[in-house]
Structure 1
Amino acid sequence: MKGQKITGLGLLLCSILLITACASKSKISRTPTSTMQKEDVLSVLRSTNNYFMNKWPDTGKPLYTTRWRPSNIWTRGVYYEGLMALYKIDKDQRYYDYAVDWGENHKWGLRNGTKTRNADDQTCGQTYLDLYEIDPKPERIRDIKTNIDYVIASGKYDDWTWIDAIQMAMPVFAKLGVMYKDPKYFDYMYKMYAYSKNVEGGGLYNKKDKLWWRDKDFVPPYKEPNGEDCYWSRGNGWVVAALVRVLDLIPENENHRAEYLQDYKELMEGLLACQREDGFWNVSLHDPTNYGGRETSGTALFVYGMAWGINNGLLDDKIYRPAMELAWNAMVKEAIHPSGFLGYLQGTGKEPKDGQPVSFSSVPDFEDYGLGCFLLAGTEVYKLIANN
C-alpha cells in the first residue's frame, strides 16, 4: 500500500490484518479459555503486597540506592496507586492505615514543594486525593491542589517532555477537575498532553506503529540494533495507565475524551501486535534482540489497560482477553517468588539497557513501582472475573 492513501474501510481492514497477523505470529489463541478464579487473583495480590509491607514497615523511611531520597518520590507514589486500587476490592484496614501513615509522614507534601513543575513530584498527589475523598481532611489536599493551581497559573504547559510524566501527573489534574467540577483542570491537562503527543521532539506519539517514543532522544533517526524504532515497554505502559486512569475519572462529555479514547484503543492495538509468545512483553517492544526477555512492569501495565478496557466494554473480549489472560498467568507463574517478591522487573531508567540485567532473581533499584503496576493489573483482572 506504499504511496496509496488509506481511508475508511481500508483503515479498518488494516487493523484487522494487523491483529490477525499478530495472532498468527505469536500463536496466541483468540478464544477465551479462562479457568482463572477471583480468589486466586486476590491471594496473589495479598501475597505480593504483604511481602512489601512487611519489608517496609516504616512508611517515612528514606530510600537509598545511589543516594538518599525521601519516600514520597514517584516510585513509592506508583505503589500507593496500586495499594489504593487493591483497597477498593479488599477492604483491609491495614492498607488504608499504611497509606495514611505515608501521607502523614510527609505532611501530605510534595518532594520539592508546592512550586515544583516535575511530574514525578506530583505522583504522590494521586493517593493524597484518594485519601481525601475517603476522609476530607484539608491537609490531605492542600499542597497538591496548591501546586497544580500554580502550574496552571503559570501558563506554561511544556513540562511533560518524557512520556512517564503523563501517568505521574495527568490523573491528578483529572481528579481535581472532577472533585471541584472545574473544567480548567481538564483543559490544562489536555494542553500538556497534546504538547507531549504532538510537539515535543516533533511529537512523541507515532500513529503509524500506534506506540510512543519515550522522549525526544528516541525519535528517529534513533534506531534499535535491529533497525526498528525504539519503543520502551514501561514507557508505553505509563501512557496506558494515564489514559485508563483519566478515562475512568472524567465525565462522558469532557471536551477531549474522544481523543483520549481513540489514543487508548490505538495503543492497545500497537501493544497487542508485539506481545511475546509466552505472554510477557520485551523491554524493547520492536526489538527482542536488545535486552530481550520477560519484563514484569510493562507487562503488568498492559494487563491493567486490557482488563480495564474489557471491563468497560471498550475492547473486544474475544481479541484481548486471551492475550490479557496469557500475560497475567505468565506473571503469576514465572515472576512471583514464594515470598511474594516480583522477579523479571526492570529497574528505573528510560530505555532497554537501563536497570539490567533483568532476571527472575534480580533485585531492581526500587521494588515499589513494579508492585504498584502489578496491583493495578490484578485488581482489574479480579473485577473482570467477578463481573463474569
Structure 2
Amino acid sequence: MKRLLVFVLLLSATTGNAQGTLSKKKILETMRLCNAYFMNKWPDPGKPIVTNKERPSNIWTRAVYYEGLMALYTIDRQKSYYDYAVDWGTKHQWGLRSGITTRNADDQCCGQTYIDLYKLDKMPERIKAIKTSIDNMVASDKNDDWSWVDAIQMAMPVYVKLGALYKEHRYFDKMYQIYAYTKNVHGGKGLYNKEEHLWWRDKDFVPPYKEPNGANCYWSRGNGWVFAALVRVLNALPKTDAHYAEYLQDFKDMGAALLQCQQATGMWTVSLHDTNHFGGKEISGTALFTYGFAWGVRNGLLDKKQYLPALTKAWNAMVKDAVHPDGSLGYVQGTGKEPKDGQPVTYNSKPDFEDYGLGCFLLAGTEVYRLAGE
C-alpha cells in the first residue's frame, strides 16, 4: 500500500511538471515579442505587399495574420492591437481584394476580422462588403468554389460568423453545401480520405498522386487549414445545427490522424506521410495543429491525456527552435501547395510572406495560453 501511494504521488508530480511547462506569462511574452516584430516592420497596415509583384495588403496572407492578432486581443486587450486592425480595415475601405462579386475564398478571408471588429463596434461599413459577397454566394446554386483545401479556412468561418451574428441558418446551410462538395465530390471522390482522415490539397492531388515513398501526398499546412477551420466553425456553430456532429467527427478523426504524424521533435514535417520528402521542422502546419489540439482539449473534445503532452511538446518546440531573439519566426514554409514549394525551410530562411506564419502561431499561442498554468 505504501509503495502504491509513493507511485501515485510521483506520477502526480510528473504530470504536474509536464503541464507546468506551459506558463501563461512566458507564452504571452513570446506572442507579444513576435507580434511587436511584425507591427514594427509594418507600421502602415495599408501598405501594399511587394514580392514577385505588388499586392494589396488585404490578401489572404495578411488576413490570416489578423485572425491571429484578433485571437491575441481576446487575452491581451491592448488598444494598439485593436487600432492596428481597424486601421487595416479602414485603409482598405472594409473591402475585398476583387470586390463584392468575388467568389474566391482567399479574397473573402479578410471578412473574418471585419466581422470580429464589427462585433466590437457595430459600424455598418465594417461588414457591408463581406456580407454582400457572401449573400451573393448564398443566393447561388453553385457549390464547387472551394477546389483547394486552403479555401475551407479562408472562407468557411465567414459563413459561420455571419450565421451566428444574424441568427440565420441560410449561412450555415450554404457553408455545409460547399464544404460537402469539397469533401465528397471534388477530384472525383472528394478531397477527404475517409480511411486515412486527411485531406488532399486540391483536386489535382487525389490518387494516384503519391510521395516518393509511395504514400499519399498530404501537405501539412493544407491539412492545418482544414483543422483550424473546423475549430472556428465548431466554436460558433449552434450544436443544434444538422451538420454539427459531422464537423465534430471530422475534427476528432483528423486529430487522431495528425497525432500519429507528429515527429519526435514535437513538430510536424511538410509532408505528413513522407518525412524524408523535404523533411525537417515546419511551424505553419505545426501551429495550426497545436491550435486545434489545444482548443479540443480545452473544450473537452480531445482526450487530455493523449493530446496535452503532444501540444505542450509542439508549442515548446516552436518557441525553442523557431522564435528568433527579435521575434521573427524561422521554419515557416513559403506559399505553395505541396512539400516542394516554398523551400528551403530553415531557422534562417525567410518565406515570401511573413504574415500568415505569425497568424498561425498567434492562434496556437492563444489557445495554449488558455490551457496553461500561471
TM-score (norm. length: structure 1): 0.91
Tell me what 1:278 maps to: 265
Tell me what 1:40 maps to: 26
Any conservation in 2 of the 1:347–1:354 contact (CA below 8 Å)? Answer: yes
Tell me what 1:109 maps to: 95
Any conservation in 2 of the 1:177–1:184 contact (CA below 8 Å)? Answer: yes
Tell me what 2:213 maps to: 226
Tell me what 2:251 maps to: 264
Which residue of 220, 228, 233 corresponds with 1:241?
228
Q: Which whole-Å CA distance do the structure 1 matches of 2:372 and 2:268 have between them? A: 23
Does 1:287 find its partner at 2:274? yes
* SS of residue in 1 equivalent to 2:143: coil
The residue type paired with residue 52 of structure 1 is: F
Tell me what 2:72 maps to: 86
Q: Which whole-Å CA distance do the structure 1 matches of 2:276 and 2:23 have between them? A: 35
| Structure 1 residues 282-321: aligned runs within 5 Å | 282-321=269-308
Tell me what 1:346 maps to: 333
1:31 Cα deviation from its structure 2 partner: 5.8
Q: Which whole-Å CA distance do the structure 2 matches of 1:84 and 1:38 have between them? A: 18
1:134 Cα deviation from its structure 2 partner: 0.2
Does 1:55 find its partner at 2:41? yes
What is the root-mean-square deviation of aligned Cα atoms in Å?
Answer: 1.1
The residue type paired with residue 59 of structure 2 is: I
The residue type paired with residue 124 of structure 1 is: C
Any conservation in 2 of the 1:31–1:318 contact (CA below 8 Å)? Answer: no
Q: Which whole-Å CA distance do the structure 1 matches of 2:363 and 2:258 have between them? A: 18
How many residues in Structure 1 have an aligned counterpart in Structure 2? 358
The residue type paired with residue 358 of structure 2 is: L
1:153 Cα deviation from its structure 2 partner: 1.1
| Aligned-pair identity (%) | 67
* Cα deviations by residue, 1:68-91 (Å, 9 ceiling, x for unpaired): 000000000000000000000001
Tell me what 2:241 maps to: 254
1:289 Cα deviation from its structure 2 partner: 1.1
* Cα deviations by residue, 1:317-336 (Å, 9 ceiling, x for unpaired): 00001011000000000000
* Cα deviations by residue, 1:92-125 (Å, 9 ceiling, x for unpaired): 0000000000000000000000000000000000
1:192 Cα deviation from its structure 2 partner: 0.3
Q: Which whole-Å CA distance do the structure 2 matches of 1:157 and 1:195 have between them? A: 6
| Structure 1 residues 87-236: aligned runs within 5 Å | 87-201=73-187, 202-236=189-223
Tell me what 1:17 maps to: none
Q: Which whole-Å CA distance do the structure 1 matches of 2:205 and 2:213 have between them? A: 14
Superposition misfits of 4+ residues, deviation over 3 angstroms: none
Unaligned runs of 5+ in 1: 1-29
Q: Which whole-Å CA distance do the structure 2 matches of 1:146 and 1:56 have between them? A: 29
Q: Which whole-Å CA distance do the structure 2 matches of 1:320 and 1:153 have between them? A: 41
TM-score (norm. length: structure 2): 0.95
The residue type paired with residue 107 of structure 2 is: D
Tell me what 2:5 maps to: none
Tell me what 1:381 maps to: 368
Q: Which whole-Å CA distance do the structure 1 matches of 2:121 and 2:38 have between them? A: 25
Unaligned runs of 5+ in 2: 1-13
Which residue of 342, 355, 361 corresponds with 1:355?
342
* SS of residue in 2 equivalent to 1:248: helix
The residue type paired with residue 175 of structure 1 is: K
* SS of residue in 1 equivalent to 2:328: coil
* SS of residue in 2 equivalent to 1:378: helix
* SS of residue in 2 equivalent to 1:160: coil
* SS of residue in 1 equivalent to 2:204: helix
